[in-house]
Chain A
Amino acid sequence: MSLADLTALGGFAALFVMMALRVPIGVAMGLVGVGGFAMIAGTGPALNLLAISPIRTITDYNMSLIPMFVLMGVLATRSGISRELFGAGQAWLGRFRGGLALATIGACGGFAAICGSSVATAATMTKVALPEMQRYGYPTNMATGIIAAGGTLGILIPPSVVLAVYAFIAGQDVGELFIAGIVPGLLAMVMYMAAVRIIYGRSAPAGHKTPWPEAFRSLFELGPTLILFAAIIGGIYFGVVTPTEAAAAGAFLTGLIGIVRRRLGWREITESLVEALRTSVAIFVILIGALLFGYFLAVTQTPQKITAFLVAMDLGAYGTLLIILAVFLILGCVLDAMAMIILLVPIVFPVVTQLGFDPVWFGVVVVMTVEIGLITPPIGMNIFVINSIAPEAHPVGIFKGVTPFVLTDILRLALIIAFPAIVLFLPGTMG
């Protein structure tokens, strides 16, 4: 083993120790990156990475879409759009057995189209849908499990912070990745709904019947939101605007609609701005750390060595892919979704492209894989967030409630691997 290999191994060990001791993920990656770079290239150059790289990361025009999409999601929540979405779902699906569960998943999918984060989607929907489901006698495990799963739609259906970060790290087009996420996202929603019907079709209580005029009125209320989403995704799909411009338009118009409908005042807007800022800064800290860590990995040539090693094992393209996804799944049990993308994508991306897989397709596959980690024990961010909002739901109970959906996730992953066209068809028509 060379000095570079030992340094790389030591770097990973130091990283995990620091993360276990609650050092912010980005800071741990950044310090290990700089320290490791110093061991290979000297202290002066390593410290200079800190002078150059972080400020470049936060002034990257393409990355400014993250704060704007986060802002759009926060403004949408504050304007009560989540409540409207659930209301419409209830009006149309509430009459069936398990109808509230279907409504919840539909509302999660709708909210995911405005919000770029799974955890935020789960948190928002817990507040809106959980009390209703409890009122109609849903067992808490079942109800929270449904919300936890529905929340994962947040990072698959565009906009998606995690897909944007993948695009940044893998050097892919954000717009293309967003468009690629649409069909798999809708497929996920449909499969979750099917799972609800199959598993809870008899046991889940029915909600109340909504008269048809009222049901149509609920759709009408959603009008501005639907138009906004269509405009944003349409703008990206038709290339009328860049994804960053779409994000700015989305945040601006969501705010404007909220003001016009008297849902947002000065106070709500400033609070939304502060909340969006906090979330965005936390994401940027991780990005900064990821790049510093990436430079360290590059000088040790770890990705190249791992590529050579995996390719030499000669498991075939799909064998190697399965090993990579298994690593994501296992680490997903304990690591944050975005941290995992940031840590692993630079290492496995060269392997995957060398094996001839499409980088956009792989982005969607990776996001679906880490998304499973959000709802599996012992660390599932969606579960914890729901638990923090609804303390009466025990994490173990939520994990139980979400299990059927994890199975549909795995089935969907298999479908996407078998039929890459599910992902690639739509972006392929972009031109």
Chain B
Amino acid sequence: ADLRFSTWAPPTHPLQPTGWEPWIQSIQEASEGRISVTLFPSEQLGSALDHYDIARDGIADLAYIAPGYQAGRFPVIALGQIPFLIANAKSGTRAFDAWYRNYADKEMGDIHFCMAYLHSPGTLHSKEPIAVPGDIDGKTVRPAGATIGQLVASLGGASVQVSAPAARDALEKGTADAITFPWGSLFLYGIDEVTPYHLDMPIYTTPFITGMNKAAYEALSDEDKAVMDAHCTSEWAEKVAFGWANFEDEGREKAIASPDHTLHEPTPEEVKAWQDAAAPLLDAWKADVTAKGYDADTVYQGLVDELKAAGALYE
């Protein structure tokens, strides 16, 4: 089988060379060439926002999906966006994938779930120092997603939505005062040049999925299904996410080493203040999944336990 793998990241994004390409090569070798995968990067087969449907409808056989791009559609996995929960994207990804496997069939029933992974936690980067939640009041923030947007609004800030490439300009010219962004990408997009201040704590991450079209999976021979199954595991999720996590983590090291950057490590009291500020988001998440018929506390505790066991819980 020749599978189309649609992604919306550019081919230079760390995920492609360090994540997907080795994964694809391993699949080709394990299937002795019976399965080949062609990557279609940069939204060639559709908008980033539509990648779940692209996999579901068979426009591509495999797709890189950001479930959070469609607010409200996938409430369970949205737990991955709740701030101050996940400390790292390596063992954190393994734990997250293991946890979400329990719910994927129900929440993403019309695709074949392959794996879930995270980017290395991002934080607040700003033109002026931000240390406590109160510092957000009156500031304009480019949030990473709807959840962070709600946090900003609840703290008296305004959200401005600009694309990642336009973010640098928005900050430099005052359209935004701060941004939540992963560390490595900060340097990739040149945003580091306009945001000298950083809150040194893992604020948020974003879950991503590699999903497969159901019919494309069913069409494989049992032997080839076994190959795909062996490549859709928590271990592979960690491997795929690893290079990207390294790339982002190096950005933080770079900022620490640079005289132009000031990282503020919050005191335990400040951490507590941030976590309190974010508490309503967790309550809102619980209400959302309860409304969809889940036992919210069980689902939540499941992730906390997995993260704790993997040493990736932010405490």
Contacts and interface: CB of A to CB of B under 8 A. Distances in A.
Given A45-B58, A49-B59, A171-B42, A56 B47 contact: yes
B165 interface: yes
Given A431-B169, A431-B172, A431-B173, A45 B57 contact: yes
A133 to B, nearest CB: 43
A238 B173 contact: yes
B59 A41 contact: yes
A196 B54 CA distance: 55
A240 interface: yes
Given A52-B53, A431-B172, A298 B59 contact: no
B277 interface: no
Interface in B21-72: 38, 40, 42-47, 49-50, 53-54, 57-59
A240 B46 contact: no
Counting contact residues on chain A (CB < 8 A from B), the size range is 20 to 34
Interface in A51-74: 51-53, 56, 60-62
Interface string B1-28: 0001000000000000000000000000
Contact of B44 (A41, A61, A240, A298): A298
B53 A430 contact: no
A280 to B, nearest CB: 20
B268 interface: no
Nearest to B50: A52
A48 B63 CA distance: 15
Interface in B78-136: none
A298 B162 contact: no
A242 B59 contact: no
Given A295-B59, A431-B169, A242 B175 contact: yes
A44 interface: yes
Given A41-B4, A298-B40, A56 B166 contact: no
B148 interface: no
14 contacts: A44-B58, A48-B57, A48-B58, A53-B47, A62-B163, A175-B166, A239-B169, A239-B170, A240-B173, A240-B174, A242-B170, A242-B175, A298-B45, A431-B173
Interface of B: 4, 38, 40, 42-47, 49-50, 53-54, 57-59, 161-163, 165-166, 168-170, 172-175
Interface of A: 37, 41-42, 44-45, 48-49, 51-53, 56, 60-62, 171, 173, 175, 238-242, 294-295, 298-299, 301, 430-431
Given A52-B53, A240-B173, A242-B170, 7 more contacts: A48-B58, A60-B47, A171-B42, A171-B43, A175-B166, A238-B173, A298-B44
